[in-house]
Amino acid sequence: MKIIESSQNMQSLALELKSLKQKLILVPTMGALHEGHLALVDQAKQLGDKVVLSVFVNPTQFGAGEDFEKYPRPLEKDQELAQARGVDYFFVPKASEVYPAGDQTVVMVTELSRGLCGAFRPGHFRGVATVVTKLFLICQPHAAVFGEKDYQQLQVIKRLAQDLHFPIKIIGVPTLREKDGLALSSRNAYLNTLQRQIALKLPQSLQWAVRAVQQGEQESRVIKEKIIQDLQDPQIKIDYIEVVDSETLEPLPKIKAQARLLAAIRVGETRLIDNLPLKL
Amino acid sequence: MKIIESSQNMQSLALELKSLKQKLILVPTMGALHEGHLALVDQAKQLGDKVVLSVFVNPTQFGAGEDFEKYPRPLEKDQELAQARGVDYFFVPKASEVYPAGDQTVVMVTELSRGLCGAFRPGHFRGVATVVTKLFLICQPHAAVFGEKDYQQLQVIKRLAQDLHFPIKIIGVPTLREKDGLALSSRNAYLNTLQRQIALKLPQSLQWAVRAVQQGEQESRVIKEKIIQDLQDPQIKIDYIEVVDSETLEPLPKIKAQARLLAAIRVGETRLIDNLPLKL
């Protein structure tokens, strides 16, 4: 595994691979790698010739008062995990290169960024869209792999790639979960034992909703109200529970084939998100 | 010369040229080609192996009440001029491909787009930055050539290319002028004979300013006030006269090496812009 710290070196390498018709697959991460990220690497290895995993804790997607400073950065461990999983290039760009002096160019995917997490994290998806555009242009991949756990992010990036004409396939990979159902997330590390237990209510609610729909429930309102009830807990604050179209993310009053349930809660200080398709 | 109407065909061709290490040079235009555009083609032919000239009257860079509808579209004549000048690919994308159904991704270069023309044409440079990003990704050029006549646009695009890490050289070409000094522009066709005469005051003012600086004038205020006086005419409305840093476009109270004079006026309904460096 080659470690690359310079954006320019990464881009030269990427363009060289392109001229050799080698397919480079990008797995963009913020590090603190867990099995969920490594599943993205496995998927990437199926899709192309070489895999680049980027680790960049992107400042512009964190809002004021969010966890940019405390976000975990176990870089050595990340490097070992990536190497063990067969990553070819471990790309750790410097913020001063990703955002050069005088940087002022922003990319926004307007409608898709507005609701859901976008409503609670102003500027977040603008930061995501901007950094992903930069990483795509630096790494020039044939495809890029993202987790479905950040479902709104995945839809934002799919839309961005289509609208801007990136010749890059965007691949979503289903969420990996702990045995008890909690979605893998770097932020789970913030939870204490009690909070970890309480956090389980989130996947349990989503799984309940899938069963309810299987058993004939068609009203989003009914599902949302029941989940809000089930999540009642002094340590839980609900940001949103929403049934949406899986592509446009428009709220759906009635469950239909494309319906997906998206939820965001805070357990103590820790923000957790999760989602599931309501029909298989 | 090959005529290409499909964005997808253009991108396939561009990627193929890239894998062959052929340098493709892009000349993006809105058509209504004049000798100014053809000078960009000449420059492009110096820079690479193949030249693609795009003709696309970009709807998103026109504001409400601007001249999108009446903007000249002499496509057959453009095609002949491009062919005669040695263009390899004449790319005429459809708006429905450049902006696919559901399109919602925008690119903005924030500070540089704010003042000067940006203050009088809200959303204009957002439209420019967005369409140029799309054209860059469709055409994947080695370099792209723009006229210095649209000087703010040139700086916006240079910044965009740097910030987003486009592996594309941005080349500016000095403004071509009629014998009497009027900058070539597709919009000059809107002027009647009297307006054409009055429009001359614009380049004459800029040239006066260059001489004044040569003779020792150092105060931007003095230059601006004199030009405002000289442009007094019932048919002229001044949008702005500004002395700015040639890269950041920040207003300069004192003339320095990097100073550039930028001006925009309206003669009747027709908006004209021009600019010159104040020190050689």
Angle between the N-to-C axes of helices B124-139 and A151-164, in degrees from 0 to 180, rounded to the nearest 10:
80
Which domains are present in chain B?
2-173 (3.40.50.620), 186-277 (3.30.1300.10)
Answer yes or no: is pLDDT of A13 > 90.
yes
Token pair 């989003």 in the structure block, residue = A220
Question: For A90-126, how does the pLDDT look when each residue is reduced to its tens digit (9 = 90+)?
Answer: 999 999 999 999 999 999 999 999 999 999 999 999 9
Torsion of CA B8, B13, B19, B23, to 10 degrees: -120
Nearest by CB to A165, from B11, B109, B110: name it. B11
Annotation says B37 is catalytic:
yes
Q: How far is CA B12 from CA A100, B19, B98, in A?
A: 31, 11, 15
Q: Which two tokens stand for residue A44?
A: 């990437």
CB pairs under 8 A between A and B: 91
Confidence (pLDDT) at B180: 97
Question: For A147-165, how does the pLDDT look when each residue is reduced to its tens digit (9 = 90+)?
Answer: 999 999 999 999 999 999 9
Kindly determine whether residue A105 and residue B109, on different chains, have CB atoms separated by under 8 Å: yes
Mean pLDDT of A74-88: 98
Mean pLDDT of B56-75: 96
Give B-chain residues touching A101 at CB under 8 angstroms.
Answer: none
Confidence (pLDDT) at B279: 87
Say how many CA atoms lie within 13 Å of B271 toward its Cβ.
15
Q: How far is CA A101 from CA B147, B159, B194, in A?
A: 25, 11, 47
Kindly determine whether residue B137 and residue A165, on different chains, have CB atoms separated by under 8 Å: yes
DSSP annotation of B182: P
Question: For B230-244, how does the pLDDT look when each residue is reduced to its tens digit (9 = 90+)?
Answer: 999 999 999 999 999
Confidence (pLDDT) at B205: 98
Confidence (pLDDT) at B66: 95
CB A129 within 8 A of CB A159: no
Question: For A220-268, how does the pLDDT look when each residue is reduced to its tens digit (9 = 90+)?
Answer: 999 999 999 999 999 999 999 999 999 999 999 999 999 999 999 999 9
Average pLDDT for chain A: 97
Give B-chain residues touching A11 at CB under 8 angstroms.
Answer: 165, 167
CB B27 within 8 A of CB B98: no
What share of chain A has pLDDT > 70, as a percent?
Answer: 100
Residue of A163, A168, A245 to mutate, testing the B interface (most B Cβ within 10 Å of its Cβ): A163
Question: For B138-180, how does the pLDDT look when each residue is reduced to its tens digit (9 = 90+)?
Answer: 999 999 999 999 999 999 999 999 999 999 999 999 999 999 9
Nearest by CB to A103, from B18, B105, B163: name it. B163
Kindly determine whether residue A159 and residue B108, on different chains, have CB atoms separated by under 8 Å: no
The C-alpha atoms of residue B5 and residue A104 are separated, in whole angstroms, by 33
The C-alpha atoms of residue B222 and residue B66 are separated, in whole angstroms, by 32
Average pLDDT for chain B: 97
Nearest by CB to B104, from A112, A133, A140: name it. A112
Confidence (pLDDT) at B174: 98
| Numbered residues of chain B with Cβ closer than 8 Å to any chain A Cβ | 7, 11, 15, 18-21, 99-100, 102-112, 129, 133-134, 137-138, 140, 159-160, 162-167, 248
Confidence (pLDDT) at A279: 87
- Check if the interface score ipTM surpasses 0.85: yes
Answer yes or no: is pLDDT of B186 > 80.
yes
Kindly determine whether residue A164 and residue B134, on different chains, have CB atoms separated by under 8 Å: yes
Confidence (pLDDT) at A18: 92
The C-alpha atoms of residue A129 and residue A119 are separated, in whole angstroms, by 16
Confidence (pLDDT) at A126: 98
Distance from CA of A104 to the nearest CA of B (A): 5
The C-alpha atoms of residue B168 and residue B25 are separated, in whole angstroms, by 9
Residues of A acting as catalytic residues: 37
Answer yes or no: is pLDDT of B280 > 80.
no
Mean pLDDT of B76-92: 98
Mean pLDDT of A53-65: 97
Distance from CA of A260 to the nearest CA of B (A): 20
Answer yes or no: is pLDDT of A280 > 90.
no
Question: For B196-217, how does the pLDDT look when each residue is reduced to its tens digit (9 = 90+)?
Answer: 999 999 999 999 999 999 999 9
Which regions of A126-209 does DSSP assign to beta strands (E)?
143-147, 169-173
Answer yes or no: is pLDDT of B12 > 90.
yes
